[in-house]
Structures are given as C-alpha cells and as structure tokens.
Structure 1
C-alpha cells in the first residue's frame, strides 16, 4: 500500500533480510530502551530470515501481518510495522508495533505508516480494533498514535519486559468506526 508521504508498506520477504539486519544493527542502541533484550542470534542474517519466515507464516494463518516501511524513491527499508496477536470472532482485534530508523525520525514516516497499516487492518484484514501499548516516557511514539487517531484507554502496570525491566505501558486503541 502506498502513501502520499513518500513511503509505502509491503509484507517483508526473504530478500529483505539483509536490509532489515542492517537497519537493526545501525539502530541497535537507539531501539534498545524500548525493546526486549534479544539473543545475539536475532542480530544475524539467519535471525532476520527466521523473523520474516514467522511473519509470512503468521499472515498465512491470519495471526499476524508484518510489513516493511519503504521509501518510495529508493525502495529502502526504513522501518517495520506489524499487526500481531490477531483475535477473530467477536473481538476482531490486533496489537500494533512499529519502529523507524533513527535517521528518518521526525519526518512523519511513522505516522504515515501507522495510518497506512490501519487502512489495511480495517479495509483488507477486516479488523474492528487495533491496540498499541507504549512506554509512557516514549513521547514521540505517543504523538504518532495520537496523530493517527488513537485514543488513550489506560495504563497497564508492569505490562512488558523491556530492556530487562518490567515496564508500565499506556494503552491506546482505535476502532474501525
């Protein structure tokens, strides 16, 4: 899916593994305060291929959809966005997670990617609700969610183990209507 904001989303493919690895290496210190501690195998080509393979399998089983965020001009991967933990039935919900290369922060790419991902979630995948949790001190990510129309729903105490510490997360959500 393409955006007027110079980016597009597409599901990650095996050919993207080396670009994704490069992105993660260059941003490792930048991302770490907001991510789980990962085994060193994650930072290998094989680790990225496993992640992409899991994403492909997740889409085939309608459990998750993982997209690369690409620049239109160069097709360079500048981030990743995912809908995971998809619940069907009477819930029709997914969890949203994303990251953008530090070099491209502050240019509106994250907000554009979230907006594009929501169109896919609601119009193509048929979800009713998308939820995102964000560490309260991650103000740029909160701004992205608010600009994309998410509403603050509350605080989940000790929600996820991030960078070795159980962290509270502000819960944001948006529904199809």
Structure 2
C-alpha cells in the first residue's frame, strides 16, 4: 500500500460508527451538525460556533489541508459518522510528536454536544486507537487533558489509558499557562486490555 493510499483510505468501523478522513462531499453534513450544536455545557465545551466563514470552498481547502498534514505525518484527522444515517458526530485526531525510536503521538477527540451521552466518544476513540497502533504504527499515544475536564478524563480511562503525570504550566490557554494531566497507552499495554 502506498503512503498516499494508507493516508487517505484509512477507515475503521464498529457496529454503529465509521471513522475516516473528511471528504469534500461531507460539507453539508459536517456544517449541519456544527450548526446544530447546543450552547456550551462547561468551559471545555465550545458549544455553538460561528460558522459564517465555513463556505464550501473553505471546507474543500480544509479537506486538502487535512490530506497534506497526513501525507507529511504531522496529523491524522478522522471524522466520526453514525452508520445508520451518516450524521457527522465529531472528530478524532492524532498529532505526531516524534517518530524514529519513539513512535509517539498525541490524541485529541471531540463529539458534538448534541450527541453526548450515547457512548460515541468511547466507541470512536477505541476505533481510533486501533488505527493508531495497527495502521499509523505509533507505539505510544498520549492524551493531554485539563485538570478539570472530568468528561475527557473519564473517556481516556474508559478506553484503557493510564494516568502518568501532571505537566505543570504545559499549555497556554484561558489567558495563562495551565497544567495538563497526561494519560497514555502504548502498544504493549494495549494488548493486555
């Protein structure tokens, strides 16, 4: 399989979900679900977003950017779709932190808040982790989580990630340098779960 095929054709499925890169044809579905978001539930939920700049041309460029990031192995970004009706539920992404002797990546995940409490986060992250280890060949995956983001902590634990440490002043957000909890999983620990 060529690098391009491996990058653009990666897909995973469960009984309820499909995980794959965005395609240009996803625009209306993607936009509809972003527009359907409910107001924010807490500070880690962006809630409703201003989608006024998100024209179809803008989206085509976003898809191309995702493809380029995957080709250069900087990021691998997957959309989450519900099988029964094709609705766009959210996104899961991997950023490559280091290859060579480390094979180390960071995972991020987001489910639109109108679809919370259905197990889609857990199911999509499990699918993504399998892709990360089996197809993208990461050995170690980390989730960097704000110390007060209880939902993200529960999700990381539910897929078998373990708490490793707290990195002090790790990321600049909310107007200052904030601490992050580091949850991790590696290909050795994944096999035992």
Scaled to the shorter chain, the TM-score interval is 0.7 to 0.9
Asked which structure has the greater RCO (Cα within 8 Å, sep 6+), the reply is 1
CA contact (8 A) 1:70 1:77 kept: yes
CA contact (8 A) 1:160 1:166 kept: yes
Relative to structure 1, the CA distance from residue 107 to residue 28 in structure 2 (aligned partners, 3 Å threshold; closer, same or farther) is closer
TM-score by length of 1: 0.85
Give SS of 1:34's match. coil
Give the deviation of 1:32 after TM superposition. 8.0
CA contact (8 A) 1:35 1:163 kept: no
Give SS of 2:148's match. coil
CA contact (8 A) 1:94 1:129 kept: yes
Q: CA-atom RMSD, angstroms?
A: 2.5
The answer to which structure has the higher helix fraction is 1
Gaps of 5+ in 1: none
Q: Provide the C-alpha distance between the structure 2 equivalents of 1:21 and 1:163, rounded to a whole number of angstroms.
A: 26
Equivalent in the alignment of 1:10: 20
The size of the alignment, in residue pairs, is: 174
| Runs of 4+ residues over 4 Å off in structure 1 | 40-43
Gaps of 5+ in 2: 1-11, 189-193
Q: 1:33 aligns with which of 4, 25, 43?
A: 43
